[in-house]
Amino acid sequence: DQQVKQNSPSLSVQEGRISILNCDYTNSMFDYFLWYKKYPAEGPTFLISISSIKDKNEDGRFTVFLNKSAKHLSLHIVPSQPGDSAVYFCAASALSNYQLIWGAGTKLIIKP
């Protein structure tokens, strides 16, 4: 049973436009969410996180939105740049359990 779902395996966006990556979760105990970026032949690197006490967290071009009632979060990248082309993973955790539960990833392609 997938507790964290990224339903779009890939997404193609024009350079300069907004990229929106989506993530849904089923476990209402999750209260901390993270986004990671992964380039080929490298390990995932942390991008941005959000706690369930917030509904938005912003870091430069990256903003994560959390909708707890819908059990949905999204990552917005504005403006999208060629270096943003990577696989993006959504991960979730509950304070009572240290493990991160990972989504399957979305491959973002930024077109010039």
Partner 1 sequence: DAGVIQSPRHEVTEMGQEVTLRCKPISGHDYLFWYRQTMMRGLELLIYFNNNVPIDDSGMPEDRFSAKMPNASFSTLKIQPSEPRDSAVYFCASSLRQGPDEQFFGPGTRLTVL
Characterize the bridge pairing of strands 10-14 and 106-111.
Answer: parallel
Judged by CB under 8 A, the chain residues 40 through 59 that form the site for partner 1 are: 41-46, 49
The interface with partner 1 within residues 71-110 (CB under 8 A) comprises: 89, 93-95, 98-100, 102-105
- Considering beta carbons, is residue 41 or 70 the nearer one to partner 1? 41
**What is the token pair recorded at 106?**
């979305």
- Per DSSP, helices labelled H in 3-112 are none
Q: Give the footprint of partner 1 on residues 1-40 (CB under 8 A).
A: 31-32, 34
Task: Report d(CA 19, CA 76) in Å as an integer.
Answer: 6
Q: Which two tokens stand for residue 27?
A: 């476990």
- Give contact residues for partner 1 (rule: CB under 8 A): 31-32, 34, 41-46, 49, 89, 93-95, 98-100, 102-105
